[in-house]
Amino acid sequence: MRSLAAAGHRVLQDYAAADWPDRSCAASTAPYLALDFELDGLGIEAHLLQVGWVPFQGSSICLAEAHSVDIRSKADLDTAAVTIHGIGEQRAARGQKLREVAPRLAKELSGRILIAHAADIEVSAIERMAASVWGVQLPVRSICTLALERKLRPNLVGTEAYRLGPSRARYGLPEYEAHDALTDAIAAAELFQAQLSRVPAGVTLGELEQT
């Protein structure tokens, strides 16, 4: 975080100075931000098209603070990806500029642990966003609900069993329509809360965080 504190951008300085939870604190008490990106495919250069997030702590999800925004792109989008998430080139061209989205997202993530299903995708997207807008690497602390589900239920057959929908179904959570950033973020938050009820009491943040 030292390099961010020395950066010339206030949002990065605030991010570095945020009240970050200690890794030894109980996971059930830590502050989180469930987040999801919709991308133009899964390649390393895939365009960021939509982001949705919702803050939560303990058993409470603050839907009043949930937010979703389309991100501007003027690229020729991958047809297969457009079919999945429904964000076509006309809609993408009307989205907010990345340099407008990035400061708000960094503010929301300050002092919070990112929660996402297949969190490496979201972490990579944030890192690319920060590099593009500020020219820096933004450290992101995260917990992956997919990785946690594999630990909790290691013997399920097939990769489909660990997708977000099937994972939620095992905890009796309702089925949501997938591939909308905000809906998927809320779905990941609810799944994580359900997973916390299955881990040993007093499990620490450090035991669940990705390293």
CA-based angle 162:167:173, to the nearest 5?
Answer: 170
Distance, in Å, from the CA atom of 86 to the CA atom of 80, rounded to the nearest integer, reads: 10
What kind and span of H or E run contains 60? Answer: strand 60-61
Domain limits, the chain = 2-208
Distance, in Å, from the CA atom of 30 to the CA atom of 47, rounded to the nearest integer, reads: 31
State the pLDDT confidence band at 172, using cuts at 50, 70 and 90: very high
**To the nearest whole number, what is the mean pLDDT of the chain?**
88
What is the SS3 assignment for 194? helix
Residue 60 reports pLDDT greater than 90: no
Average pLDDT over residues 6-20: 87
Looking at residue 2, its pLDDT comes to 63
Residue 36 reports pLDDT greater than 80: yes
Q: Which CATH number fits domain 2-208: 3.40.50.800, 3.30.420.10, 3.30.450.20, 3.40.718.10?
A: 3.30.420.10
Q: What is the pLDDT of residues 70-101, one digit of tens each?
A: 998 755 555 554 444 456 556 656 678 999 99
State the pLDDT confidence band at 48, using cuts at 50, 70 and 90: confident
Residue 21 reports pLDDT greater than 50: yes
Q: What is the pLDDT of residues 125-170, one digit of tens each?
A: 999 999 999 999 999 999 999 999 999 999 998 889 999 999 999 9
